Structure 1
Amino acid sequence: MVAITKILLAILSSGAVVAREGKMTWYNPGLGACGKTHNNNDIIVAIGVPHWTAANPNKDPNCQKKITIHYGGKKVTARVVDKCMSCGRNNIDVSPAVFKKFGPPQQGTLPSEVELA
């Protein structure tokens, strides 16, 4: 399921907040780009490849940054721990624990607003 939605995306490395079109999806985490292993119950997020600037992703300035995700009057603050290889600049991929706070995983994609926490 693919749905283009309005997403307020934090350009994490600079801290600037910019309105963009994008989507929020979920994935099953494992060993992330920041060098730590996570599971489906962790409150984490993966961001698109264009946001990664360090040659060694374990040392990227985005690792461990917090973002707040808003949807349907709810909000969740999650840590950036992974690189989403299939996400473009405007999209995020979240753990099932984060996604379930907004809707059933069967939806696959939800609209969201994302900002630096």
Structure 2
Amino acid sequence: MILTGKSAILAVLAIVGLVQAAPAMHKRQTQSGPATFFTPGLGSCGITSSATDHIVAVSSSFFDTFSGATANPNANPVCGRKMTVSFQGKSTAVTVVDRCPGCGPTGIDLSPAAFNELASPDLGRIQVTWTLH
């Protein structure tokens, strides 16, 4: 079937919307998005973390569509992957241990220790760049 006119435009917009909703990032590349911090506990990867651990929760859309993800979140291949997060010339290394239901597609949620390495918690939300390794 060949789409023309308005149908073709709507099909392209639908595809673009899907791509934007869950960015494919299965090989190393840099993303940018908002970062907040949370109180860690038992994460979606089945790992219990504390506020002093350098960990990160990635957006649910990123976590759920990561290549190789299954219905068992503990077996998600993104679990345990290292990430470098940067803000205003500072960087910190973190490990993916959880999913963040309230984060947008490229948003992340850091442990308090990791967030504090980048900025004052008084800021609450910062715009970061991050690279999954």
TM-score, normalized by length of structure 1? 0.83
Asked whether the equivalents of residues 66 and 77 of structure 1 are also in contact (C-alpha less than 8 Å), the reply is yes
- 1:11 touches 1:17 (CA, 8 Å); kept in 2? no
Percent of aligned pairs sharing the same letter = 36
Quick check: which one's helix share is greater?
Answer: 2
CA–CA separation in structure 2 for the residues paired with 1:103 and 1:19: 19
CA shift for structure 1 position 90: 1.1
Change (3 A) 1:11 1:99: farther
Aligned pairs for 1:8-27 (under 5 A) are 11-12=24-25, 14-17=26-29, 19-20=31-32, 22-27=33-38
Q: How many residues align?
A: 106
CA 107–45 in structure 1, closer or farther in 2 if over 3 Å, else same: same
The answer to whether structure 1 residue 46 and structure 2 residue 46 are counterparts is no
- Unmatched 5+ residue regions in structure 1? 1-9
Deviations 1:39-95 (CA, angstroms, capped at 9, x unpaired): 100000000111223211000010000010011111111000001011121100000
1:80 to 92, 96, 110: 96
Task: Name the structure with the higher strand share.
Answer: 1
Q: TM-score, normalised by structure 2?
A: 0.74
Unaligned runs of 5+ in 2: 1-22
The answer as to whether partners of 1:49 and 1:85 remain within 8 angstroms in 2 is yes
Structure of higher CA gyration radius:
2
* CA displacement at 1:18 relative to structure 2: 5.4
The answer to whether the Cα contact below 8 Å between 1:67 and 1:79 also exists between their aligned partners in 2 is yes
Q: Please tell me the root mean square deviation across aligned C-alpha atoms, in Å.
A: 1.6
Inter-CA distance 19–65: structure 2 relative to 1 (3 Å threshold): closer
Q: Which residue of structure 2 aligns with residue 116 of structure 1?
A: 132
Deviations 1:3-56, CA, capped at 9 Å, x for gaps: xxxxxxx854x1152545x20100000000010111100000000111223211
